[in-house]
Amino acid sequence: MEAIEPTREVNATLVDLLDRALDKGLIINADIIVSVAGVPLLGVSLKVALAGMETMLKYGMMEDWDEAYRAIAKKECGGETLKESGVKPLALKAQAQTS
Amino acid sequence: MSKKSGRYVYCVADSGKSVNFGRIGIDKGIVYTIPSGNLCAVVHNCSKPYQSKDAEKVKGWVRTHQNIVDVAGKELGTVIPLSFDVMVKGSNKDVMNWLEKENEKLMDIIKRIKGRQEFGVQIFLDRKIMGSKIAEKNKEIQRLRKEMEKESKGKAYFLRQRIERVVKREIERGADLCFKDFFNRIKIVADDVRVDKVKSSDMLMNLSCLVHKGRIGELGTELGIIDDMEGFSVRFTGPWPPYSFV
């Protein structure tokens, strides 16, 4: 038996990096965050590109994003943009994750 | 928002040093530290968050984000990585105020992750191999197989289906026991473990482990034992900044 060495070879571990840097990491106090709709939207487009929508839905990986995305879309369809409503998208994301 | 009226934050470091890292940031932004007491934020000036539908572009940004966190870690010691695309609105003063206000909370995190690194551990199970191993040993299956040999085609068909159900049940039971066993072995070596969602049907477990630098070899040894077991394979990635533990 041999011990295994961890790898961080850039191409082989890109998905592992994306899982961490897009979904995890410190999220700072919401009232000074500017990070807007870009966060969930980026996450969606990128992850779909990497894994394919079907796979993501199958394993429930899109659920959080999906909810946040719907919440944003609902706001926008109601003729009220996020900016106007003063709702911080990150707060929406947090809501979606805790609901 | 006026031009450059925000600060993109890569990480918070356990150091009050003022450092200019040069033009190594996302979109060639100048990366520098904003110290406040015993902590500093590693930032670059920017006006809006990074958004693109081009996956390659985003991957490049995320790699740069990661690279800066690595560079900051080498230069400044323990770092709390921020999620990609998080900005503080306003000037350096606003970042300093934030560091000051959150000092206690941030110091708690630093204390928890100091001297430790994050590793990804994914364990895969080949259910076919496990199934055939179970079929060799399981008495119920052997009895059903013997019965099947004596029966007519029609009855044998139903018995085969029954055997398949038993095998499936036993595989899931075995997988569950292995999960618990492996988790406990890893838990002993790691300071903290997060269970992430599995990403494919053959992935038995997907963990993020916070491990003290002095115990990484022990984790590698435990994983080597698991990787050697028939039907199992291990993917071991890292070291990552502790994204999952902040």
Q: Whose structure tokens read 């995320």? A: B62
Percentage of chain B surpassing pLDDT 70? 99
Closest residue in chain A to residue B246, using alpha carbons only: A26
Q: Which residue blocks in B151-243 are alpha helix, DSSP H?
A: 153-189, 216-228
Greater confidence (A42 vs B158) lies with B158
A86 touches chain B (CB under 8 A): no
For residue A28, the model assigns a pLDDT of 65
Length of chain B: 246
Sort out which chain B residues have CB atoms less than 8 A from A59's CB and list them: 197-200
Percentage of chain B surpassing pLDDT 90? 76
Residue A43: pLDDT band (50, 70, 90) is: very low
- What CA–CA distance (Å, rounded) separates B149 from B152? 8
E-strand stretches of chain B: 6-13, 20-22, 31-36, 39-46, 79-81, 87-89, 116-125, 192-196, 203-212, 232-240
Q: Whose structure tokens read 């630093």? A: B110
User: Which region among A10-14, B37-41, B152-156 has the lowest average model confidence (pLDDT)?
Assistant: B152-156
In chain B, what's the furthest Cα-to-Cα distance?
A: 84
**CB nearest to A36's CB, from B49, B65, B208:** B49
For residue A47, the model assigns a pLDDT of 41
Q: Cβ–Cβ contacts within 10 Å for residue B57, how many?
A: 13
CB contact under 8 A, A4 and B227: yes
| C-alpha Rg value of chain B to the nearest Å | 25
A19 touches chain B (CB under 8 A): yes
Beta bridge partners of B233: B124
Residue B89: pLDDT band (50, 70, 90) is: confident
Greater confidence (B138 vs A65) lies with B138
Q: Whose structure tokens read 């590109």? A: A49
Greater confidence (B233 vs B147) lies with B233
For residue B48, the model assigns a pLDDT of 80
For residue A26, the model assigns a pLDDT of 86
- What CA–CA distance (Å, rounded) separates B11 from B25? 12
Residue A24: pLDDT band (50, 70, 90) is: confident
**CB nearest to A24's CB, from B88, B225, B243:** B243
pLDDT, tens digit, for every residue of B97-124? 999 989 999 999 999 999 999 999 999 9
- The C-alpha of B128 sits at a distance from chain A's nearest C-alpha, in angstroms, of 21
| Single pTM value for the model | 0.77
Q: Cβ–Cβ contacts within 10 Å for residue B68, how many?
A: 24
**What ipTM is given for this predicted complex?**
0.86
- What CA–CA distance (Å, rounded) separates B4 from B1? 8
Greater confidence (A62 vs B13) lies with B13
**CB nearest to B59's CB, from A14, A34, A51:** A14
